[in-house]
Each structure stands twice: as C-alpha cells, then as structure tokens.
C-alpha cells in the first residue's frame, strides 16, 4: 500500500511539472508607425513566432515595443501577443 501511494505521488508531481512548463508557439504582432518627416513609409506591421510559455512569450513580445527617434524620424512600435 505504501508503494502504491508513493507511485501516485510521483506521478502527480511529474504531471504538475509537465503541465506548468508547457511551451507552445505564439505569434507576436508589432505595429510600426513612422512620423516626423515627409516621404516616410506607411505604417507597417510584422509578425514573428515565439516558442515559450504564455507568460514568457508575452513578456518577450511586449519588450519589443518602444519609441525611437533617429535623425528627425519618430518611430513607435507597439507589440502584442496574437
């Protein structure tokens, strides 16, 4: 009886570790808007895949967002998990 409960405990722990560390492929979608000078390209968007847990993928994707200024060109990049 003791052996059986030990096996069930080990299986439960292994199952919970497997379920919480599950990695999937998520799409990160970024909208890019340019301003500040005539003749700039239209707003664009990019997508790329991130294979990780959902919370890590969301953090990595949001980290790509930002505002940049370079030689009078103002760029705003807004990224979100899709």
Quick check: is 3 in a domain?
no
The mean pLDDT values, 10 residues at a time, for the chain of 82 residues are 72 65 87 92 94 93 95 94 87
Q: What is the pLDDT of residue 19?
A: 60
**Structural domain of residue 69, as residue ranges?**
24-81
The DSSP result for 16-57, as a single string, is HHHHHT--EEEEEEEEEEEESSTTPPPPEEEEEEEEE-HHHH
Quick check: is 2 in a domain?
no
Quick check: is 14 in a domain?
no
- Are the C-beta atoms of residues 61 and 80 closer than 8 Å to each other? yes
Number of domains making up the chain: 1
Quick check: is 71 in a domain?
yes
Tell me the C-alpha distance between 74 and 50, whole Å: 27
Most distant CA pair in the chain: distance in Å?
A: 79
pTM for the whole thing? 0.67
Q: What is the pLDDT of residue 21?
A: 59
């Amino acid at each position: 009886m003791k052996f059986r409960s030990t096996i069930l405990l080990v299986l439960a722990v292994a199952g919970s570790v497997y379920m919480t560390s599950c990695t999937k492929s998520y799409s990160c979608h970024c909208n890019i808007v340019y301003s500040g000078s005539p003749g700039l390209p239209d707003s664009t968007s990019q997508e790329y895949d991130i294979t990780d847990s959902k919370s890590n993928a969301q953090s990595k994707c949001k980290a790509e967002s930002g505002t940049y200024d370079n030689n009078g060109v103002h760029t705003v990049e807004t990224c979100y998990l899709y």
